[in-house]
Every structure is written in C-alpha cells, then in structure tokens.
Amino acid sequence: MSKSRRSTPTRREPGPPNAPAPVPRPNTTKDRSLSNAARARRRRSIQRIIAGALGAVALAAAISLTFFHTSSSAQYRTTTEGWRLPRLGASGEVSLASFKGHPVIVNFFASWCTVCAGELPVFASDAVALKGKVAVVEVNALETGNGSSFAQQYQLASHVSAVASDVGGGQGDGLYQALGGTGSMPMTAFYDARGHLITTHVGGFDSTFLASTVRQIYGVTLPT
C-alpha cells in the first residue's frame, strides 16, 4: 500500500513585528465636497466684501453729487424779477440785471417741443432786428434730451442776446415754474426796461404774431 501524503499548508509571511497599522485610504469624494464647500464660503465672503465696498463708493458718490448740485445751484436765482441762470453749454451766467435799461423777452424752449422748433427761427431772426432795442434771451427748460445740441441747430448763440439753462429743469423750482409754467411749452415772458414782468404767453409765435406783440408791448416795429 502506498503511503498517503499529507498536504503541507501554504505558508504566509507574517508582517514584520511592530509594523504600523495600514493607513486607510482617504475618502476623496467627501474631501472634495468639503473643499468645494470651503471655496464656496470663501467666494461668498469675498462677494459680500466687494458688494459692501461698492455700496460705500456709490453712497459717497451720491453724497458728493448732491452736495455739488446744491452748491452749484445755490449761486443762481429763479425769482421772476431777479433771476440769474447759467449759460447753456458755456461758462458764465445770464441775469436779468445785466440787461438793465433794455426791455427783455425771455423765450423758453425744449428739444422735445415741436412748436419750439417752429418758432425758434422766428426769434433768432427777430432778435437780430431788435438788437439794441429789445434783448432776446432763450432759456432751455424742462429738458429731457440734449438742449445744447438743439440750440446749436438754430445757431441761437450767434443770433439772440443770450442762451441760458433753467436750473430748476423739471424739478419744480426753476424760472419757468416761477413764471407760472405748468408743463406746456413754449412759454415767453416779456419784461420792461426796469426789469418788471409785463406779461407771459404760453404757445408758439409766428413772425406776424411776434411782430404785432412786440409792437403792442414795446412800441417797436419789426421789419416785415
């Protein structure tokens, strides 16, 4: 009989003594989530800081602009018989007192006013004929566009006595409102040589109507 063989168990080498415990694998998915969350928190924090800084800058600019507007407007006056306004599109000012000794016609216009566009050539032409007798002042009021460019289209600065800007604009505190304007354009005010208001007219002028009005108020005849 043959002898049965005993199977020899496979030997396994144990680890070295005092070997460090196996290092667990990092949970990369969890770590990545934590990292993304940290970055998101930092991003939100930076955004809040930037938003706060921009808000502070905007507030400072608004305060500065308000102060500048108040300071610059304070030097002008819009009383009916003592007005003083800034020149339109130029430095300096226009005042009723500067025309002392001469009657003054103040015509208000705006770039959106189609009737104004029709009468401005009439005022520009008659202002030349009235030079030395009656001063003609054009005032841009209730403006929502570019009043300076509109005035240049009719070459007002080279024809009339002066072109000014109403400091009140649409805010309710300008010369236009002081003279009783309620939003309709154009409007024209007539002053005597002492600076006293004679009358106002709301609506447009053609050459015939303006000539008859000037003759009736001032006794001056315009060439026809």
Query: What is the per-residue pLDDT across 75-120, written as a single tens digit (0 to 9) for each?
Result: 788 899 999 999 999 999 999 999 999 999 999 999 999 999 999 9
Tell me what pLDDT residue 94 has. 96
Report the percentage of the chain scoring pLDDT > 70.
71
Architecture of domain 84-218 in this structure: 3-Layer(aba) Sandwich (3.40)
Q: What is the mean pLDDT of residues 26-49?
A: 67
What are the two backbone dihedrals, phi and then psi, of residue 204, each rounded to the nearest 5 degrees?
A: -85, 165
Q: How confident is the model at residue 50 (pLDDT cuts 50, 70, 90)?
A: confident
Q: What is the mean pLDDT of residues 35-43?
A: 73
**pTM of the predicted protein model:** 0.67
Given a cut of 50, whether residue 63 has pLDDT beyond it is no
Q: How confident is the model at residue 69 (pLDDT cuts 50, 70, 90)?
A: very low
